[in-house]
Amino acid sequence: MSSRSRSGRQYWVAIRAMVVLTAVLGVGYTAVITGVGQLAMPAQANGQLVQDADGQTVGSALIGQSFTDADGAALPEWFQSRPSAAGDGYDASASSGSNYGPENADLIAAIGDRLASVAKLEGVSESEVPADAVTASASGLDPQISPEYARLQVPRIAEARDLPEDEVAELVENHIQARDLGILGDPTVNVLELNLALAALAD
């Protein structure tokens, strides 16, 4: 067999292998995984979108968002999310942490500013402010806060909305999500879902 024939045969084998692998792995595998996702966990597979009382999509339970005014000031009538280092804040196209080390001067200054701001907003001492109120998550997109941070915000929200404090506190307790499988992670509160429940309570 000539070298040209051998080369032609090798090219033909390579082309057939590429076509088969593309069909199996590029199309077949994707179709199977998509189908399994739609059957087993359709909400997560479709982004776990959250809708308000009018049926309008207002976000995703998997991606955090801010509840601030145009200048970035916290809106007192809403539960606040933890800070975000993703882009200009909760930018899903720029998911990341700050990558600052614990001794970075900019990070220390930012935490100090946040600590003073949160303490003033909630009317408490800086020592009462939970860590997640002043530090961004690794992804910058975490939709949850700690139950401690949610509870800290109850008096301010009750006053801003002229609601009984115990009703707002009960709302927080009802939205605490337990550890995964009972042992993984810490209890959390999804801020978007909590704020939607708060809006319904106010109505």
Q: What is the mean pLDDT of the chain?
A: 87
Give the residue with greater pLDDT, 199 vs 203: 199
Radius of gyration in angstroms for the set of CA atoms belonging to the chain, rounded to a whole number: 24
Residue 202 pLDDT: 63
Torsion sign (Cα): 190, 183, 35, 32 = positive
> Is 80 exceeded by the pLDDT of residue 5?
no
CB atoms within 10 A of CB 67: 16
The pLDDT tens digits for 96-133 are 777 788 888 988 998 999 999 999 999 999 999 999 99
**Mean pLDDT, residues 150-154 taken together:** 97
- For the stretch 23-36, pLDDT in tens is 888 888 888 888 88
Identify the pLDDT of residue 158: 95
Indicate if the pLDDT at residue 1 is higher than 60: no
Residue with more model confidence, 104 or 43: 104
Enclosing H/E stretch for 17: helix 3-21
Residue type, 101: G
Does 6 score more than 80 pLDDT?
Answer: no
Confidence at 4, pLDDT banded by 50, 70, 90? low
Q: 68, exposed or middle or buried, with CB in 10 Å at 0-12, 13-18, 19+?
A: middle
Chain-centre distance for alpha carbon 90: 8
Q: Which residues of 11-21 are buried (b: 16+ CB within 10 A; e: fewer)?
A: eeeeeeeeeee
Mean pLDDT of 26-47: 78
Q: Per-residue pLDDT tens for 171-181?
A: 999 999 988 88
Q: What is the pTM of this model?
A: 0.78
Q: Report the distance separating Cα 50 and Cα 60, nearest Å.
A: 5
- CA quadruple 12, 15, 19, 21: dihedral sign: positive
**Predicted confidence band at 47 (pLDDT cuts at 50, 70, 90)?**
low
DSSP three-state, residue 196 = helix
Amino acid (one-letter) located at 87: G
Side chain identity at 175, as an amino acid letter? H
Domain ranges of the chain: 3-42, 48-99+137-202
The whole-angstrom separation of Cα 64 and Cα 195 is 12
Residue 192 has what pLDDT? 94
